[in-house]
Amino acid sequence: MVDVILGLQWGDEGKGKIVDFFAKDYDVIARFQGGPNAGHTLYVNDKKIVLHQIPSGIFHTDKINLIGNGVVLDAVTLKKECESVAAFGVDYKKNLFISERTHLILPTHRALDKASELSKGTEKIGSTLKGIGPAYMDKTGRNGLRVGDLKDKSFTSQYIKLRLKHQRLLDSFNFQEDISAWEEEFFEALEFLKELNIVNGEYFINEKIAEGKRVLAEGAQGSMLDVDFGTFPFVTSSSTITGGVCSGLGIAPQKIKEVIGITKAYCTRVGSGPFPTELFDATGDFLRNTGNEFGSTTGRPRRCGWIDLVALQFACMINGVTQIVMTKADILDGLEELKVCNSYKINGEEISRIPFQMNKMQIDASYQSFKGWKNNITQVKTFENMPAEMNTYINYLNEFLKVPVKYISNGPGRDQLVNV
């Protein structure tokens, strides 16, 4: 049996903490897509740690953690992360496994990412410059190198061949930066990677399922950044939705049971692209500063706005969401009034569907207003003790989305998660 946890907005929903919370009930936690552009923040023994590649179940030492074939892997980042988790007493060599079909991010992928973004001028998509897009392009172009290729004696010659191809592209961008230091670090990290548990991921995970093990598939980024269904072209390069679990881990659709969708109590976005509910006023500043809305990977300030139920309903539909976890509800504590976007107005017409190419039209969000609760909810342990105003807010969401909010996160701590 496989359950899925994924983000329902533009990423940064707080998936790391939620995966960490649910991990105790599972035997295997598996990342199925994305790369080091995803940052999952956890607090372990009151210390903050951000994971970019390793599944968020790594701090449960009796759990298996698998990096699936749908991920693109930065060996340098992985090496640093392993060293970080080892400082917490985690034996990653025991419970971290990597699919041999996982594609590698090369130094030239990072260079191509940077060169491409610089060439766009004011039309930048907001790439994290981690080499994600070029790595996925090589994957779909059948040119990439995979973790399993490290066992091949011809790996170095394969790398040189691909590097020469990349160099021609870099020359076309007139990219002059010296990446020799990146390459030195990369090959050192590959030696480290060879010592880890490299497995045939699809057989590995299906054998666990056949043994009756419970699997939790962990997504990265958010549904509105999906390469097909997100706000194209301001999207990531992989399938961030439930369908990506099957291709990213090698499991059949009928194995999937629960789909746990994560949304903030408001909305944020990093980088460029449409954001109908974005706030440019004092409330937006309040959400950013109170919520510490700065990218865990890039440090960039996040754009902030009210929760968007049109986008959220769309995300629930394409993912088959069965339950919702709402994070950062405590950030709304200080607001007199809350707003919820329940429709869009485009050219005077009111719609409740995500339109094609949102970036090419003027979208005005329509709102339902609610009274804020103006109480500190960070110490509340049961939903019955939450303010009545929150109950009204949650009931409206449940009715609109037709999917129940089952948990509310009221702080960053592991124990700050209230069952509704």
Residue 325 sits at φ, ψ, to 5 deg, of -110, 125
**Any idea which residues carry the catalytic annotation?**
12, 40
User: What residues contact residue 39 under an 8 Å CB cut-off, 6+ apart?
Assistant: 16, 50, 51, 52, 295, 296, 297
The DSSP symbol for 300 reads: P
Place of tokens 């992989």: 238
Q: Is the model's pLDDT at 295 over the cut of 80? A: no
Highest mean pLDDT among 109-118, 314-323, 407-416: 314-323
Give the tens place of pLDDT for each residue, 310-321.
999 999 999 999
pLDDT at 415: 84
One-letter-per-residue 3-state SS of 389-402 = HHHHHHHHHHHHHC
Q: What are the tokens at 416?
A: 């700050």
The DSSP symbol for 230 reads: S
What's the chain's average pLDDT?
A: 92
Element (H, E) at 325: strand 323-327
Give the tens place of pLDDT for each residue, 118-172.
776 656 666 778 899 999 999 999 999 999 999 999 999 999 999 999 999 999 9
pLDDT at 156: 92
Categorize the per-residue pLDDT at 251 as very low, low, confident or very high, splitting at 50, 70 and 90.
very high
Q: What are the tokens at 223?
A: 């549904």
Q: What are the tokens at 5?
A: 């946890």
What's the angle, vertex CA 340, arms to CA 338 and CA 345, rounded to 5? 135
pLDDT at 386: 95
All structural domains of the chain: 2-99+198-260 (3.40.440.10), 103-193 (1.10.300.10), 263-419 (3.90.170.10)
Let me know: does 131 contact 37? Beta carbons within 8 Å.
no
In angstroms, rounded to a whole number, what is the distance separating the alpha carbons of residues 33 and 132? Answer: 11
